[in-house]
Each structure stands twice: as structure tokens, then as C-alpha cells.
Structure 1
Amino acid sequence: MNVPTHTPFTGHPGEQDRIAFDRHELGAIMGVYGKMVAAGEWRDYGLSFLKDVAVFSVFRRTAEFPLYRIEKRPRLRNRQGMYAVVAMDGQILKRGHDLRTVLRVFDRLLIRAVD
């Protein structure tokens, strides 16, 4: 399946050719986000659509640094995979070609939060 890697924005100069999550990617991310919010672990999120990367940042509180970043970097598609989960300290927790597989890194956090 050939999925577009970017969504061109209209209306503002300089907003063309930015990387964005598509509807299916956001659905998968929001599914994990909802579970973590229900477990009381996460409380806020932010989205950034830049020239080379789309980032979904997860926060425990609004005024903090993000706990995790879910990144989409299409340039890495043919190498180690365009999706990555990055911790607050910059450590890459999981990288791969399939977003749902990469998001499974949060399963162990969810199990720990429910215990």
C-alpha cells in the first residue's frame, strides 16, 4: 500500500511539503494515548509537523518536557524504519517500518501502570 508521507497545507506560505501523520497513523497513536490517559500516566500531547519529521509529543503535565516522542521520518523508510519512539533523554526505545509494532513499546508501560 502506497501511503503519502506528507500532507501539503494550504493558506500560509512556507507550509508546503511538511511531514504529517495520516488519519490511520493518528488513529493508532490516539488509541495508545487514550489507554495511557485512562491509566493516569499521560495527560497532554502536542503535534509538530516539520520539513523532515512529524512528531507526536506526550506529556505528563502541560508545562513539562515531553515524556516520549513518536516520530515519523520518511527519509529513514529504506533504512531502519521511518517510525520511532524516543524517550525524554533522547534514547530511541523502538524503531521500525510498522507504526503499530513500534507503538507496542508502550504495552509494557501500560501493564506496569495497571499493576
Structure 2
Amino acid sequence: MQSVTTGRGADQVMFDRAELESILRVYGFMVASGEWRDYAIDGLRDRAEFSVFRHSSEMPIYRVVKTPADARRQGAYKVVAATGAILKRGQDLKQVLKVFDRQLLRLAGGH
């Protein structure tokens, strides 16, 4: 897990390159299928969030959240729906992102 320091001296949690590649791989498939349209990345003091939007003026439909403080308990990663429901959480980001596999299969023409 990576934490970076901003110019103001405050720590900020961010996704590292490998984490972003995993998230952007799923994002790319969903954009290509027309399901997702926009995203935002927020580096906060206690967590990093990758928010996904169907339309840029909406609330995020999903958030991929990295919270290093939760790593030993529930796992540092989770996917949160627009309702606030946690769809999946765990230690391994790639495993957590598998929550989107069913939707990706459906979009690819699988059953």
C-alpha cells in the first residue's frame, strides 16, 4: 500500500500503478460496452476512491475504495454500490474486482 505526501505535508492514500491498471482494465471494458462514462479518483487522508459514473452529472454508481487501516480486519479494498451497500471486500484488489465479472460476461454476450 502506498501513501504519498502532498506539498502541504499531509499524508494522502493513493492507488499505485498496478492497482490503477487493474481498475482501469475493468473500467475500459465497461466504457467500451457503453455502461460507464466517466470516473474520478480521490486521494484522501484515510482512503483512496475510484468513483464510476454512468453520466458525469450523477452520483457515482460504484466506488472502488482502498482503506489501508482496514487491511488487517476486512481487507483494504472494497466495491461500494450507489446505495452504500458493500458488494465485495478483501485483501486482493483483483479478487474484489471480480464482483464485475458477471456484468462483463453479460456485456460480452455470455450467459
Q: TM-score range by the shorter chain?
A: over 0.9
Match of 1:81 in 2: 75
Match of 1:109 in 2: 103
Match of 2:2 in 1: 5
Distance 2:18 2:88 in 1: 19
Distance 1:77 1:5 in 2: 13
Report the TM-score when normalising by structure 2.
0.93
Distance 2:4 2:28 in 1: 24
Task: Please tell me the residue identity of whatever aligns with 1:45.
Answer: Y
Distance 1:8 1:103 in 2: 27
Match of 2:62 in 1: 68
Task: Please tell me the residue identity of whatever aligns with 1:52.
Answer: D
More strand by share: 2
Task: Please tell me the residue identity of whatever aligns with 2:91.
Answer: H
What's the offset of the Cα at 1:111?
1.8
Report the TM-score when normalising by structure 1.
0.90
The reply on whether 1:52 has 2:46 as its aligned counterpart is yes
What's the offset of the Cα at 1:106?
0.6
Stretches of 4+ aligned residues off by more than 6 angstroms: none
Gaps of 5+ in 2: none
Aligned pair count reads: 109
